[in-house]
Every structure is written in C-alpha cells, then in structure tokens.
Amino acid sequence: MSFESLPSDLPSGRLVAPDPDSVHERWADRPVLWVSDEPLVDAGDLWADLYGRREKTGLYPLLLDGLYGEPTRPWHDGELGHVPAGAIDVLAADGVLRRFWDAVTENEHAAPLNDPWPGLADPGIGVSDPDDVAVELAEGLAIGVGRFLGLVPAGRGADTLSLVGWHGPLNHTDHTQEISAIVRSWEERFGARVVKVGFDMLDLSVAAPPRTPEHARRVAAEHLAFCPDNVWQGSGDFETYAVSLVDAERWHFWWD
C-alpha cells in the first residue's frame, strides 16, 4: 500500500491506518486510505479527475459517506482493516455466490427460491463506455451533496473494499474479500465500477446491465446472494426487484 504518488493538488485530507485490533501487526501502522478532512461540494468533479489519473497515480478514488449522525465513522476513525489482494485472487465469484445463495435461501422468506444455485448470469451487452458511465454516476451522486473523497492504492475498484478492510457487509459476511471477488466478476461481466462506499452501503455504475426480464432475473439471483437486504428489506419481492434491474446503470446495495 503506497501513497508516494499522492497528487499535490488534493484538498485538505489525511492518511488513515487500520484499527490495530482488526489486522495483523504487520499492517497496523500502514495507511490504507487517504480521505478528505471535510465533505466536498465538488466531490463528483474531483472524483472524475482522479479517476482519469488513476493509472498514473496508482490510486483509485472513492466517494465516501460516513455513518448517519456520526460522519467520522468509519473512515476518519479508522474503523478499517486490511485484506491483501492475494486473498481475493484465490476466490471464484461463482463459488462465493453459491455459498451465499445456499445460506440465504434457507430463510423462510426465500421460499419461492428454494432452487439450487442457478450459476453466474451471462455477461451484459453494453454500448456505453464503463468509464463514462462511472463518471456520470459520480457526478450525479454528488450534485447538491457534500461527500468525502477517498483514495486507495489499487488497480481496480473491487479491490479497494478489501484493501481498506471495509466492514459494511459485516452482518452478511465478515470476509470482505468475498465481496471483492464478486465485484471483480461484475466489473468483467457488466462493466461495473465502484463509485461510492458508505458505512454499510455500496454504489456501482453499470455499463452493461441486463436488457431483458429473463437476464435480469439471473442477475437478481446474484444480488440476492450478495446482499439479501436489497430484496427482503428493499423491494420486498424478488420478481419486482428483478424487473428494476432491466437497463439499470446504477446498482445500490445496503446491508442492515
């Protein structure tokens, strides 16, 4: 984790090391995140600029939200860990989703979905550039709202979640590398990009979403396994949720 190429034109910010109780001692004093000191009204534009420079700097930008009422959590307070990228490399998205699916569909609320894991959905067919869609979402999410800006030494957005030891999905899995492995797969199959991360929320841009109800239903199965709260505490109905994914260029996740 290197911040040597941190741009000199950043707003006021700080480097944050993980909670020493959450990581191996070798990582305890090593920063995993740069975060702005204050929410920024121009965070969307700054995100777009830094996203365009990510290959040069080696730093992937994130729009960050704190916990409602306690905005310094988790980013400024260091409620973070660190999982090296190698822990993601050894995981296959299909295997992780299969385990999640089996656990989720044991729930009585999932009675209509007691089928075996259907496997990964086919890749989406997109006509949009994933980077353009990501920039558009970042700028849209920041309109009229001050958001913190973060930077993580990472080559892709999926890895940032593990490298900063994000605990957002803790009630679903405490192994953030499992979340990263799935998001990596979505990056490749659907042109997804990580744009915003909250205390327990995640926003992805999607350049190649499902275009038909049948494809959307397969993708919705992945979402149910990945984040069951999206369905059971969101739309409340799997079929309704699946329909909402048709042509959707933003995937929002929330873990209770």
Instruction: Give the model confidence (pLDDT) of 158-207 as tens digits.
Output: 999 999 999 999 999 999 999 999 999 999 999 999 999 999 999 999 99
The pLDDT assigned to 116 comes to 86
Instruction: Annotate 46-59 with b (16+ C-beta within 10 A) or e (fewer).
Output: bbbebbeebeebbb
Give me the mean pLDDT over the 119-146 stretch: 95
Q: Which 3 state secondary structure label does DSSP give 69?
A: coil
Q: What pLDDT score does 194 carry? A: 98
Residue 194 token pair: 């990580």
Structure tokens at 244: 């909402």
The pLDDT tens digits for 55-78 are: 999 999 999 999 988 999 999 999
Tell me the C-alpha distance between 2 and 8, whole Å. 15
Confidence band, pLDDT 50/70/90 cuts, at residue 111: very low
Averaged pLDDT, 109-126: 80
Q: pTM of the full predicted structure?
A: 0.95
Percentage of residues of the chain with pLDDT beyond 70: 94
3-state secondary structure of 105: coil
